[in-house]
């Protein structure tokens, strides 16, 4: 049960942010394009190859022999009794996106919310690993270019190429 101020904060937050999901991760010449969005709109954040691979591996449920950086961070949070509440892509300036990670810590001393500045790419990997929501600030979501058609075209092309490769295997 939330108190009235907490309910007011949740309601205000829900109008200030939009929930998004990962709709695709595509390799590019300089890294990876991560498509984020919902049924209304899709947009792209460009990330380096290593984080793009980490996002794809997490989406695919790939088990790793040794912990990668994001796995280590997740283990640290668990060990410290902190929980990732959610991440927010909260700003975009000159093609660079910014994010915040919200952690909740609770122990015998009380509750504490910690908000950290982070790259959206790292935030996305952690949110996926911890199965936590990814939000985008409404102002950022409204300002980004809708890339839904481009994503659909690329996915269709990949499917057709997959069909051709399957035919070649016969």
Please give the average pLDDT of every successive group of 10 residues along the chain, which has 170 residues: 45 75 94 95 95 93 88 90 95 94 89 94 95 97 94 87 63
d(CA 133, CA 124): 9
The SS3 assignment for 38 reads: coil
Question: What's the pLDDT at 166?
Answer: 56
Residue with tokens 């792209």: 44
Distances (CA, A) of 113 to 10, 36, 83, 105, 116: 15, 26, 10, 6, 10
Nearest to 64 by CA among 52, 53, 48: 53
CATH top class, domain 4-168: alpha beta
d(CA 74, CA 20): 21
* Whole-prediction pTM: 0.82
């Amino acid at each position: 049960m939330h108190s009235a101020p907490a309910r007011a904060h949740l309601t205000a937050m829900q109008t200030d942010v939009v929930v998004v999901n990962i709709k695709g991760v595509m390799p590019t010449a300089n890294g990876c394009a991560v498509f984020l969005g919902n049924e209304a709109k899709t947009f792209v954040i460009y990330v380096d190859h290593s984080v793009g691979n980490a996002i794809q591996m997490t989406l695919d449920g790939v088990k790793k022999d040794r912990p990668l950086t994001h796995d280590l961070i997740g283990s640290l949070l668990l060990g410290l009794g902190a929980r990732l509440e959610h991440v927010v892509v909260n700003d975009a300036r000159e093609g660079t996106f910014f994010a915040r990670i919200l952690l909740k810590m609770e122990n015998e001393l009380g509750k504490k919310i910690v908000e950290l500045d982070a790259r959206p790419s790292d935030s996305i990997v952690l949110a996926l690993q911890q199965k936590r929501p990814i939000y985008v600030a409404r102002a950022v979501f409204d300002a980004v270019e809708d890339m839904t058609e481009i994503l659909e075209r690329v996915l269709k092309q990949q499917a057709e190429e997959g069909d051709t490769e399957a035919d070649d295997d016969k």
